[in-house]
Chain A
């Protein structure tokens, strides 16, 4: 390889780039079919956006971990500030507003907060002396890190984002070694309180939504419609699918959001479970890469950030896939690298860029024996 390929290119993290190209390429193929055999309006933009963001990620991979560590807390505070600004502008605008229009791009602080939440949690646990991990000192700062942005996005209202924050922070805390009893306790609390909340805390229409999630056929024309149509798309695709360009569910608009949240169902209708397993396999490789980077990182911050960001990507994949196969309620969460959409692609590529940076700079093993 040396001598034929220039060093800057040869040293690129090709493994992950190939995985992403495969995902984005296949996504673009599906979007091309969804648009009735046209690059416009989705497939072309999808690829172009990916290429720009890939360049950004490669630039990010060049940055050292110390840099990320040093900007973590300022970034966190800046996003809190932006969330407040959005809230303020939102009230002025007279409705829920999640974006700040900066002229050339529209910035969605709640979306950016997802990776930054992971960075902030890793930053905190990195600074926490190891013997304090079981103490109360470990709990309240973590709670504060979570509660402030969560409260701000819940007002918007954007519960999905708050859950994503809790998930990212929870994964980092789990990996950082917070005593298991907290997680078991939290799970037990959910198990106990969920029915209580259902029966006493929810209004009838909210209860209906839960019931519809549990049995979507009960409400085939209302909230259950999306799930039902998604299952029809996947189920009618069979093993090999109906063939490229032959999906009726998406082409005749039965499947809503066939290019964003339900792109997986669109794909499965035309490519069958063969296509589905192909995408799942790529995600397995992606997760293996991310967790592998975390394992190989020599610094605690690097470990936690790489694993936490990998799990943030995983969170998107999990919620979306469970939703389209009818195992999770309908949430506006796109499928990473496959769905059309700028904001999520930006978040995903920020995550990838930082993990790539950690892969490139595993750091020196510190500690008293090194």
Chain B
């Protein structure tokens, strides 16, 4: 078709008409497309888009439930909730990080340690997790942040509740602490409650193990919001259901007293009710202040806790394991009686016991001693001799019957149960036969045997009551405990020996209770931290090489009601470090004024009560001069 077509204007006119109709058709087709698309969106997908529009419009805010309280056996609060004004940062809404934090630091007078912590938590927060800036704010500071909100995207001021522990550090190991949910915990079940600002979960101790009971049901607030998050109006609000309170067997006053009485020492006090097995006190010091954790702990405070050689993060009552030393002698006495040893039979102590070519030393030359005297004087020679006669495989079951090496179903995240060795155990563990010298070591509580202060306290309570007491921390009505396998005469012999320790001419006479009608019986113990070498006997030198001081006891002697154990790490000896504390703690049960008077005298020398000492330590750790302790610590 090389010939060029001759086009006329008439043809073009015709072309125009045809093409104009075509253009009109295309327009109609596009119009129909729009109409069809619109109908599809608005009719077929109507439900879906209605929901989306509604979820745009309505902002559901979860109201975190108030946490259930911990109360003591008499209903006194151990852990409560304090209403507070708080400020959080929602990391994924944060726009100008540095600027915002600087503004907040200025408005809220944050310390550099706080700013460090906020930056650190922001780095780990992964977008969804609120980071606490500050809580416990007064209304003025809270309002100062609130009015600047439009310039501070990502900042969320709110009124909420924070966990409060009136006893502070005294209950740290017992109750644990709460904190914000970690990323891993949130990943496990994507419950939106977990990432609600201000929501805390238990991180340690009973707070952690009883989480389900304490948590409660969240409430919800529905608000209509604009695209920029401005609240237009409130729609409906459903209040939260607070978590249930948990009543513990603890006597919080006694517990606080015990914690304070531990003073500068590193140790623990456990007191049992001999009628039921209820745990009345389980103090372990030094400890962290759980209030610091529920606020989000500062870096310096964290470093201070971790660098302390007294290990404030360790619950020494349940997780500390020590050679029980001579505190096991009453238990060994029960075993010997059971296996035919006459309590009146005497062993002459000449300062030691010869086994083959090795001499096992006694702490003194006690002359002829029978069983009660041997307990009173803590005569090793007697127990070496009788222990060897009975054999340790006959003693170990008694140790277990009294709670050593035994596991208890208590709601604590971690407990340690120690070891009660015997020949079978040694064979399993080391592939070696049990030897006579193993028996001699074990019978005086050295060598392989280790136990926790909790177990030692329970042992004392079981000896005192003669019943198979089962320890319990949650208050409930329980069946009366069963009797142990010991006849009353055997128990009387051992209790007599323990009575003499304190009230006779024993090792703890200086810790006799200064009370009318109430006497305490007990047994001291000193646990070697390292081998005795020459003159080095663990009574001097660096703190961490000194012997542990232990004391188990019960009171009153006649009708035992309380069984207790005190373990002081590196306290040199039971009589010197542990027994005086046990004396004051038991005194507190009968005469608070006398007990408080002796405590206050001591605290004046220690630099104040727990709170004052911790504050001073914190200030010193920061390199700042600490406030001098007040002259009158009660002021």
Whether a CB of chain B sits under 8 angstroms from the CB of A130 is yes
Chain A to chain B: the 7 pairs with minimum beta-carbon distance, closest first: A235-B49, A236-B53, A177-B15, A253-B227, A235-B41, A236-B49, A252-B226
B6, B20, B41, B224: the one contacting A325 at CB < 8 Å is B41
User: Which of B22-30, B143-151, B303-311, B334-342 lies at the binding interface?
Assistant: B22-30
Complex CA distance for A248 and B53, rounded to whole angstroms: 8
Asked whether A321 lies within 8 Å of B17 as measured between CB atoms, the reply is: no
Asked whether A235 lies within 8 Å of B48 as measured between CB atoms, the reply is: yes
Instruction: Select from chain A the residue with minimum beta-carbon distance to B14.
Output: A177
Pick 22 A–B contacts, CB within 8 A, sort by A.
Answer: A133-B7, A134-B4, A175-B16, A175-B19, A177-B7, A229-B56, A234-B49, A238-B42, A238-B50, A248-B224, A252-B57, A252-B232, A268-B42, A269-B53, A273-B35, A273-B42, A284-B28, A287-B24, A300-B16, A307-B20, A318-B30, A327-B33
Whether a CB of chain B sits under 8 angstroms from the CB of A11 is no
Whether a CB of chain A sits under 8 angstroms from the CB of B34 is yes
Asked whether B41 lies within 8 Å of A295 as measured between CB atoms, the reply is: no
- Which of A229, A321, A322, A326 has the largest number of chain B CB atoms within 10 A? A321
Asked whether A291 lies within 8 Å of B7 as measured between CB atoms, the reply is: no
For the complex formed, measure the closest distance between the CB of B455 and the CB atoms of chain A, giving whole angstroms. Answer: 59
Complex CA distance for A234 and B43, rounded to whole angstroms: 10
Interface residues of A in 146-205 (CB under 8 A from B): 171, 174-177
Complex CA distance for A256 and B527, rounded to whole angstroms: 77
Cβ of A231: which chain B residues have Cβ within 8 Å of it? 41, 49
Complex CA distance for A108 and B6, rounded to whole angstroms: 43
Whether a CB of chain A sits under 8 angstroms from the CB of B9 is yes
B514-551 vs A: 1/0 string, CB under 8 Å?
00000000000000000000000000000000000000
Whether a CB of chain A sits under 8 angstroms from the CB of B31 is yes
Whether a CB of chain B sits under 8 angstroms from the CB of A2 is no
Asked whether A367 lies within 8 Å of B19 as measured between CB atoms, the reply is: no
Whether a CB of chain A sits under 8 angstroms from the CB of B45 is yes
B12, B20, B31, B54: the one contacting A291 at CB < 8 Å is B20
B9, B46, B226: the one contacting A238 at CB < 8 Å is B46
Given contacts A176-B16, A311-B27, 16 further A-B contacts (CB under 8 A): A130-B9, A130-B12, A131-B7, A174-B19, A177-B12, A177-B19, A231-B41, A234-B49, A235-B45, A236-B46, A252-B226, A253-B226, A268-B42, A294-B20, A314-B27, A325-B41
Whether a CB of chain B sits under 8 angstroms from the CB of A272 is yes
Whether a CB of chain B sits under 8 angstroms from the CB of A237 is yes
For the complex formed, measure the closest distance between the CB of A82 and the CB atoms of chain B, giving whole angstroms. Answer: 30
Instruction: Select from chain A the residue with minimum beta-carbon distance to B28.
Output: A284
For the complex formed, measure the closest distance between the CB of B17 and the CB atoms of chain A, giving whole angstroms. Answer: 7
A234-255 vs B: 1/0 string, CB under 8 Å?
1111110000000011001110
B6, B17, B43, B227: the one contacting A254 at CB < 8 Å is B227
Asked whether A234 lies within 8 Å of B56 as measured between CB atoms, the reply is: no
Asked whether A175 lies within 8 Å of B35 as measured between CB atoms, the reply is: no
Asked whether A268 lies within 8 Å of B7 as measured between CB atoms, the reply is: no
Asked whether A291 lies within 8 Å of B53 as measured between CB atoms, the reply is: no
Asked whether B35 lies within 8 Å of A130 as measured between CB atoms, the reply is: no
- Which of A231, A236, A280 has the largest number of chain B CB atoms within 10 A? A236
Instruction: Select from chain B the residue with minimum beta-carbon distance to A249.
Output: B53
Whether a CB of chain A sits under 8 angstroms from the CB of B485 is no
Complex CA distance for A303 and B18, rounded to whole angstroms: 13
B7, B8, B50, B228: the one contacting A235 at CB < 8 Å is B50
Whether a CB of chain B sits under 8 angstroms from the CB of A17 is no
- Which of B28, B43, B46 has the largest number of chain A CB atoms within 10 A? B46
A171, A234, A322, A367: the one contacting B42 at CB < 8 Å is A234
For the complex formed, measure the closest distance between the CB of A25 and the CB atoms of chain B, giving whole angstroms. Answer: 21
Q: Is the interface of A mostly helix, strand, loop or mixed?
A: helix
Q: Is the interface of B mostly helix, strand, loop or mixed?
A: helix
Asked whether A252 lies within 8 Å of B56 as measured between CB atoms, the reply is: yes
Whether a CB of chain B sits under 8 angstroms from the CB of A39 is no
Whether a CB of chain B sits under 8 angstroms from the CB of A119 is no
For the complex formed, measure the closest distance between the CB of A237 and the CB atoms of chain B, giving whole angstroms. Answer: 6
Asked whether B49 lies within 8 Å of A295 as measured between CB atoms, the reply is: no
Complex CA distance for A130 and B43, rounded to whole angstroms: 51
Cβ of B41: which chain A residues have Cβ within 8 Å of it? 231, 234-235, 325-326
Asked whether B43 lies within 8 Å of A239 as measured between CB atoms, the reply is: yes
Instruction: Select from chain A the residue with minimum beta-carbon distance to B58.
Output: A248
Whether a CB of chain A sits under 8 angstroms from the CB of B39 is yes
Asked whether A276 lies within 8 Å of B19 as measured between CB atoms, the reply is: no
Complex CA distance for A295 and B30, rounded to whole angstroms: 21
Whether a CB of chain A sits under 8 angstroms from the CB of B190 is no
Whether a CB of chain A sits under 8 angstroms from the CB of B478 is no
Cβ of B189: which chain A residues have Cβ within 8 Å of it? none
Asked whether B42 lies within 8 Å of A235 as measured between CB atoms, the reply is: yes
- Which of B15, B42, B43 has the largest number of chain A CB atoms within 10 A? B42
Asked whether A171 lies within 8 Å of B57 as measured between CB atoms, the reply is: no
Cβ of B13: which chain A residues have Cβ within 8 Å of it? 300, 303
Cβ of B620: which chain A residues have Cβ within 8 Å of it? none
Instruction: Select from chain B the residue with minimum beta-carbon distance to A369.
Output: B10
For the complex formed, measure the closest distance between the CB of A227 and the CB atoms of chain B, giving whole angstroms. Answer: 11
Whether a CB of chain B sits under 8 angstroms from the CB of A91 is no
Instruction: Select from chain A the residue with minimum beta-carbon distance to B34.
Output: A321
Asked whether A303 lies within 8 Å of B52 as measured between CB atoms, the reply is: no
| Given contact pairs A236-B52, A249-B56, A276 touches B33 in the complex (Cβ within 8 A) | no
Whether a CB of chain B sits under 8 angstroms from the CB of A233 is yes
Whether a CB of chain A sits under 8 angstroms from the CB of B482 is no
For the complex formed, measure the closest distance between the CB of B28 and the CB atoms of chain A, giving whole angstroms. Answer: 7
Cβ of B52: which chain A residues have Cβ within 8 Å of it? 232, 235-236
Complex CA distance for A55 and B434, rounded to whole angstroms: 117
Asked whether B50 lies within 8 Å of A325 as measured between CB atoms, the reply is: no
Complex CA distance for A273 and B45, rounded to whole angstroms: 13
Cβ of A268: which chain B residues have Cβ within 8 Å of it? 38, 42
Complex CA distance for A288 and B225, rounded to whole angstroms: 44
Whether a CB of chain B sits under 8 angstroms from the CB of A283 is yes
Cβ of B5: which chain A residues have Cβ within 8 Å of it? 131, 134
| Given contact pairs A273-B39, A321-B34, A177 touches B16 in the complex (Cβ within 8 A) | yes
Complex CA distance for A345 and B225, rounded to whole angstroms: 34
Asked whether A239 lies within 8 Å of B20 as measured between CB atoms, the reply is: no
Complex CA distance for A254 and B232, rounded to whole angstroms: 13
For the complex formed, measure the closest distance between the CB of A271 and the CB atoms of chain B, giving whole angstroms. Answer: 11
Cβ of B7: which chain A residues have Cβ within 8 Å of it? 130-131, 133-134, 177
Whether a CB of chain B sits under 8 angstroms from the CB of A81 is no
Cβ of A233: which chain B residues have Cβ within 8 Å of it? 53
Asked whether B6 lies within 8 Å of A232 as measured between CB atoms, the reply is: no
Asked whether A130 lies within 8 Å of B42 as measured between CB atoms, the reply is: no
Complex CA distance for A248 and B54, rounded to whole angstroms: 9
Complex CA distance for A232 and B56, rounded to whole angstroms: 9
Whether a CB of chain B sits under 8 angstroms from the CB of A18 is no
A39-59 vs B: 1/0 string, CB under 8 Å?
000000000000000000000
Whether a CB of chain A sits under 8 angstroms from the CB of B354 is no
Interface residues of A in 263-308 (CB under 8 A from B): 268-269, 272-273, 276-277, 280, 283-284, 287-288, 291, 294-295, 300, 303-304, 307
For the complex formed, measure the closest distance between the CB of A325 and the CB atoms of chain B, giving whole angstroms. Answer: 5
Cβ of B232: which chain A residues have Cβ within 8 Å of it? 252
Whether a CB of chain A sits under 8 angstroms from the CB of B191 is no
Cβ of A283: which chain B residues have Cβ within 8 Å of it? 31
B238-282 vs A: 1/0 string, CB under 8 Å?
000000000000000000000000000000000000000000000
A176, A252, A280, A294: the one contacting B225 at CB < 8 Å is A252
For the complex formed, measure the closest distance between the CB of A249 and the CB atoms of chain B, giving whole angstroms. Answer: 6
B537-574 vs A: 1/0 string, CB under 8 Å?
00000000000000000000000000000000000000
Asked whether B45 lies within 8 Å of A287 as measured between CB atoms, the reply is: no
Complex CA distance for A249 and B51, rounded to whole angstroms: 12
Asked whether A276 lies within 8 Å of B50 as measured between CB atoms, the reply is: no
Asked whether A291 lies within 8 Å of B227 as measured between CB atoms, the reply is: no
For the complex formed, measure the closest distance between the CB of A221 and the CB atoms of chain B, giving whole angstroms. Answer: 11
Complex CA distance for A303 and B12, rounded to whole angstroms: 11
Cβ of A174: which chain B residues have Cβ within 8 Å of it? 19, 23
Cβ of A177: which chain B residues have Cβ within 8 Å of it? 7, 11-12, 15-16, 19
